[in-house]
Chain A
Amino acid sequence: MAYSVNVAIEAPIENQIQEIAYDGTEVYQQPLSMSESLSKLAAKIDFGKGQDEKEEKVVDKTEEDAKDPAAYQSSLWPWDSVRNKLKNAFTEVCVLSDVLAIAKEKRYLVLDPVPQEPPETKAMVTVYARKKALGGAATVLLTGAERLRTSQSEAARNRAASDFHIELLALRKNWRLKKVGNSIIGDVSYRTAGSKFASSGMFEVTKAEEEPSSGWSPPQSPSAVAPPPKTPSALRVTLPSELQGVAYIEVHCRKDDEALFSTTVTSSTLNTAGPMPDMHWQKKLEAAQNVLFCKELFNQLAKEAVQLPGPIPHMVVGNQIVASILPGIQLIIGLCHSTATKNKKSGPPQQKKSDHDHVLEHSIHQLLREVHHKNTHHPFPHPSSGPLGPSKQRCLAGPSAVDRHELMEMSKSKTLLEQIIEQTQHFTMRRRTEYVLDTIAKEVRDPLIISHWNSINSPTKACVKVNIMTHGYDTICRTLLIIHVGKKSLKCICRDGSVMNMSYEIQELRDLLICQIQQHQITAVQALAKCMGWQLLSNNTHLGVGEVQQMGNASSCMLASPMGDRLIAVRCEPQAGVHVSIAHSPRKDFYPGQLVKDRKWENLGGGFKEVRWDKMEGKNFLNKMELLMASLTSSS
């Protein structure tokens, strides 16, 4: 080797490092001195081990000492062994306390647990155990869910049941129900309201079976309990077949073959809406009640029609009653009952609905209701002994000593059919009177004809006030007529107080009105003449001269001018109208003739000349008369 390498050789650290400071300096332990190493080595001696052997030896020795107390006594004093043991124990306790003190510092000595052998783990067992635990938890959850579900369905079932009871309560509020055995039977008949109709109106109330299709869906939130309005009712009513469907009573009034008017007895809602299979029970029961009512009404009317003697017997054919009310006019009452199966049975009434009149519908209803009411509402006071039912008048007949004739009058009562016939007669008479008044008012323009119908009337009596006056002269003269429209006759009270009784033939009323119009003209002319200062010479409402009138008599009046030199003669004829003639007296020009030789005879007047009335100026008759009088009035 050409060059040399410096090799540093250092002696290994003999001393142990006592501590390493934070700056990295190592503090070494001082090497052990001789005594120290000895004590160190001595410390390595296991005293415990040697102790046991020594003790055994000591025990042996004590036995030996007992055998040889002299030898024992010689070597040791008697508490020597005890002292040694205590000393050893003391030493050990001291060491232990030192160790503990050191260990407590945790700086030099750390107590570690003695590592034990790990427990043996079996994979399958844990799998099984976990499975079992999970299974237990699952069953807890499942039973909880099951309980929740059962309680939920229980609540749902309870809700349905309570719905049924609530609806039953609502049904009970309006309808009569009773429990027969296990079923609930109701009654729609009017028997409690006074009906004596034999046919029963029984129906059965059952719980509606649950609809299978809809299924049970949990509600969105427990608070949303309000049932939707579309839910079908929990209650079902079963009606007998004869009460199903819709019934109504049709009333026509027929003139020969032409229908004057017709009316149907039913509420319009029921008529338009056919019976639905899933109608609400309330509507269903109302319809059934209506059917029963119509049947009772028709039954009653048919019974009366057969029994009622009349000049023309009433006919009952099938479900129709034909009664003649006035010559040529018939009243036809029919019962229409359409069930759900044959819904479109009543075709013809549908088209007749256009001339529907609600008056007869109402009154025919009202008549039977009145009968019902009378059956249940007896006049007070009710005798505690004695019959209930006779009228108040009849009850008082005994104590007020009513004679035979009045009792007979009392016992007379009108049947429903008679009453409805009377009402129809009156209805017809009223229509006819209306028609005549309207047509005359239309035909005759000159005096105005104004009719006021009295608003207060009865089903068989009406009253109309007819005012005849001339436009513009209504303060001068009015002619007032009162016409009482009865069942089969008319009564007219004229202006002069005379009473005219007329039959159902309406031509009589027409003739009377035309005569009254002519009389009005004559009276109006007289009143006008008074205003104008003219003098009324003569007046005749029933003139005997002139050509014979077709109807009534002509009326006339003669007027003289204030000076007396002019004359106006007015002649009113019901058919031909008004003729007006004028005369001068004396005439201005005089030509002596063969008969009239002297001028003085001209003062007698005469020599009337007719005015061409249609050429006269003026709006109406009185206006023309006024102008004529004005022109004929001479100032001098």
Chain B
Amino acid sequence: MGVTIVQHYPMTENRTGPQVIEFLTKRVHAMGAAQAGPFLVDCETYNSAPAFGPPRTVHLLNNSEQPATVFSILESGQKQVPLVSDPLFMDLMKKLGSVYTCKQQTRMEAKGPRFEVADFLVKLGTVTMNANFKGVLVEVEYRPCLVPAACWELLREFMQGFLGTCVPNQPPSYLQNRMQDIYQPLDTIQQYLDQFREYRKAVTVR
């Protein structure tokens, strides 16, 4: 468990999703990476029924890195309430069907291979929304460090090394005001949620 950066990898015109993944896999392999299983991050969004006042949204996210945990983020207006809980929370949400309804079309998923490169963990994720391909997300984790400020430069250099210029020089907006804090698994989830939101907004493949 270390500092993680979730990075969007832009698609080019003449490449399909699997091709991009294959292309990146080759690059990662070239760095001497070893594949270490698959990974999966998924997100389900629940909307509150109109009878219960102002609209609220609950995002339920699962990360295969933390298999015994369900992350949920409640959005109501500008406020966000994150909750880290047992998987039983999923069952609880199903019981609350009269209050929160799940929109199946908005189910987001990022899954793909997972690689280990020395202290780094690289995950190449294909993003799909309701089984429609939306783009490619690359997650890079630097495992020995827990403070983003201490390793952002290293991570940036590493990412720019194999992803190219798409990696910005600034850390992701979510992390920018948390650079001195201890990194939490929830921070990864927040970055994924931010990315998924962007994918939802985008009409075409990003």
Contacts and interface: CB of A to CB of B under 8 A. Distances in A.
A225 interface: no
B47 interface: no
B85 interface: yes
Interface residues of A, number: 12
A96 interface: no
Contacts of B1: 403
A400 B84 contact: yes
A404 B68 CA distance: 8
B88 A407 contact: no
Contacts of A404: 64-67
Nearest to B83: A399
B85 A407 contact: no
B88 A386 contact: yes
B68 A407 contact: yes
A402 interface: yes
Interface in B1-22: 1
Contacts of B70: 398
A399 B185 contact: no
Interface string B115-140: 00000000000000000000000000
- The interface residues of chain A, by DSSP majority, are classed as loop
A401 B84 contact: yes
Contacts of B66: 401-404
A98 B69 CA distance: 143
A398 B185 contact: no
A403 B86 contact: no
Nearest to A405: B1
Given A403-B1, A403-B65, A407-B67, A398 B87 contact: yes
Contacts of A399: 69, 84-86
A388 to B, nearest CB: 13
A395 B70 CA distance: 13
Interface string B53-69: 00000000000111111
B186 interface: yes
Interface in A354-413: 385-386, 394, 397-404, 407
Contacts of A397: 68-69
Nearest to B95: A385
Nearest to B64: A404
B144 to A, nearest CB: 14
A386 B84 contact: no
Nearest to A386: B88
Contacts of A403: 1, 65-66, 185
Interface string A107-119: 0000000000000
Contacts of A386: 86, 88
Contacts of B71: 401
Given A386-B88, A403-B1, A403-B185, A398 B65 contact: no
B68 A402 contact: yes
Nearest to A406: B1
Contacts of A402: 66, 68-69
A398 B67 CA distance: 8
B184 interface: yes
Contacts of B87: 398
Interface string A403-427: 1100100000000000000000000
Given A407-B67, A407-B68, A401 B186 contact: yes
B187 to A, nearest CB: 10
Interface string B80-112: 000011111000000000000000000000000
A385 B94 CA distance: 14
A404 B37 CA distance: 12
B138 to A, nearest CB: 19
Interface centre among B64, B68, B88, B186 (most CB of A within 10 A): B68
B67 A401 contact: no
Nearest to B88: A386
A401 B86 contact: no
A264 to B, nearest CB: 44
B160 to A, nearest CB: 27
A398 B184 contact: no
Contacts of A398: 68-70, 84-87
A394 B64 CA distance: 17
Contacts of B184: 401
Nearest to A395: B86
A385 B65 CA distance: 25
Nearest to B70: A398
Nearest to B1: A403
Contacts of B185: 401, 403
Given A401-B184, A401-B186, A403-B1, A385 B88 contact: yes
A402 B87 CA distance: 13
Contacts of B84: 398-401
Nearest to A400: B84
Contacts of B64: 404
B171 to A, nearest CB: 21
A406 B78 CA distance: 35
A394 B70 CA distance: 14
A494 to B, nearest CB: 31
Contacts of A407: 67-68
A375 B51 CA distance: 47
Given A398-B68, A398-B69, A403-B66, 15 more contacts: A386-B88, A397-B68, A397-B69, A398-B86, A399-B69, A400-B84, A401-B66, A401-B84, A402-B66, A402-B69, A403-B1, A403-B185, A404-B66, A407-B67, A407-B68
21 contacts: A385-B88, A386-B86, A386-B88, A397-B69, A398-B68, A398-B69, A398-B70, A398-B85, A398-B86, A398-B87, A399-B84, A399-B85, A401-B71, A401-B184, A401-B185, A401-B186, A402-B69, A403-B66, A404-B65, A404-B66, A407-B68
Instruction: Give 9 closest A-B pairs by Cβ, nearest first.
Output: A398-B86, A401-B185, A401-B69, A398-B68, A401-B66, A397-B68, A398-B69, A403-B1, A386-B88
